[in-house]
Amino acid sequence: MTLLPIYKRLLRHFGKQYWWPADTPFEVIVGAILTQQTTWKNVEKAIDNLKGNNLLSISSLAKVNLKHLEKIIRPIGYFHQKAERLKGICRYIYENYGEDLAKLFSKTIPNLREELLSLKGLGPETVDSIILYAANKPIFIIDAYTKRIAHRLGVTDLNKYEDLRKYFEGHLPNDLDLYQEFHALIVELGKNYCKTKPNCTSCPLRKECRFKAVNAEVTN
């Protein structure tokens, strides 16, 4: 099964997801950093704490005491590491662009990606989430769900992040809305059906999935 039919099937099943849930592009950046290795529910608690403490701005987070920030975002887990990363990117943006995210995001995708990847603690998935949902530039995010689903469906057996990203981008129209929606739909499929131990019986892609045929026992 090729990528566009998968996208259309998931869209019919789940409907539009309108992801990423955030009020501002900067809130997307914060969420992308905080969501690593935790649930979105915990991220929402941490963001609410930041808002409640008047810390959800580039300048505030660039200047905040690190220990205080750790207490504020404690609900997310790994809060020591994430506080350092969040403060680090905010300090970088503030020192180089002030509060002007538009200036940062005016760069080409390759240049923006290279710059963000150079910052401590920001990996490809986090950076590409920022580019796709905060900068609103078309780049495809590869997460654990995407890799698992692509392998189980037999779309591709590629494993490396960059190889998978280029595969998806090479087999889809270069369309921002499609990239944003497809990624969100893949996450929904992964959370609800294509888990480590999948619920194949109810999966909207069950008829096309080679994993179900080989591992039929997991559907019971």
pLDDT band at 214 (very low <50, low <70, confident <90, very high): low
Residue finishing a domain among 87, 108, 134: 134
Domain that holds residue 57: 25-134
Peptide bond into 19 cis (omega under 30): no
Same domain, residue pair 152 and 127: no
Task: Give the number of domains in the chain.
Answer: 2
**Mean of pLDDT over the chain:** 94
Is the model's pLDDT at 64 over the cut of 80?
Answer: yes
Question: Does the pLDDT value for residue 217 go beyond 50?
Answer: no
- Give 36-102 as a DSSP string: TTS-HHHHHHHHHHHHHTT--SHHHHHHS-HHHHHHHTGGGS-HHHHHHHHHHHHHHHHHHHTT-HH
Co-location of 68 and 12 in the same domain: no
**Whether residue 77 has pLDDT greater than 50:** yes
Q: Looking at residues 109-130, what average pLDDT do you find? A: 97
**pLDDT tens-place string over residues 121-150:** 999 999 999 999 999 999 999 999 999 999
| Claim to verify: residue 130 and residue 52 sit in the same structural domain | yes
User: pLDDT-based confidence at 93, cuts 50/70/90?
Assistant: very high
pLDDT at site 37: 86
Question: CATH number for the domain including 37?
Answer: 1.10.340.30
Out of 79, 102, 134, a domain closes at 134
